[in-house]
Amino acid sequence: MENFILHERLKNDTIEVLDLKLCRVLLMNDSSFPWLILVPMRTGATEVHELSKEDRASLIEETAAASRAISAAFSPHKINIGALGNIVAQLHVHVIGRKRTDRAWPGPVWGSGPGVPYSGEQLEKTLSTLRCSLQEEPA
């Protein structure tokens, strides 16, 4: 998308995974949780209902694809999905794999402690796994 600009906070907190039909997929740079963020590449969108019917359908399908990728790679006990936007208004959807042993269980991940950035090798392996899984998804 030529006019699409990613919010600065999202840019600073994440690593780009790939672009799907609608969303830019980002990996939160916190290895404590398998945590993807999907950002619809629609300039000015802040709420799901602002998307076209077709884009809303794509968002659901891409969220499901991200959930399957996290499930396959990390075998979490639960997938949390949320679109809050209280701090970053740009429409984005969090897809977070949760384990009963993670530092925030059973509460929310936000405010649960300082993030643990990915190491070089760990980051490359995680990105490769997620990219392969997401690219294998049917269009």
| CATH number reported for the structural domain that contains residue 79 in this entry | 3.30.428.10
Residue 3 pLDDT level (bands cut at 50, 70, 90): confident
**What pLDDT, on a 0 to 100 scale, did the predictor assign at position 5?**
95
Any domain includes 88: yes
- What's the pLDDT tens digit per position in 90-138? 999 999 999 999 999 999 999 899 999 999 999 999 999 999 999 986 6
Whether 3 is in a domain gets the answer no
- Each residue's pLDDT tens digit, 65-80: 999 999 999 999 999 9
Domain membership of residue 110 (yes or no) is no
Assess if residue 109 is contained within a domain.
no
Q: Mean pLDDT throughout 74-89?
A: 96
Which residue, among 114, 112, 118, 71, has the nearest Cα to 95 in the 3D structure? 71
Look at residue 2 and tell me if it is in a domain.
no
Please list, in sequence order, all residues whose beta carbon lies within 8 angstroms of the beta carbon of residue 84, skipping any fewer than 6 positions away: 94
Number of domains observed in the structure of the chain: 1
Q: Supply the range of the domain harboring residue 18.
A: 8-104+116-135
What's the pTM? 0.95
Query: Shortest CA distance to 19 belongs to which of 35, 34, 4, 8?
Result: 4
Residue 15: strand pairing partners: 27
* In a domain? residue 17: yes
The answer to whether residue 111 is domain-embedded is: no
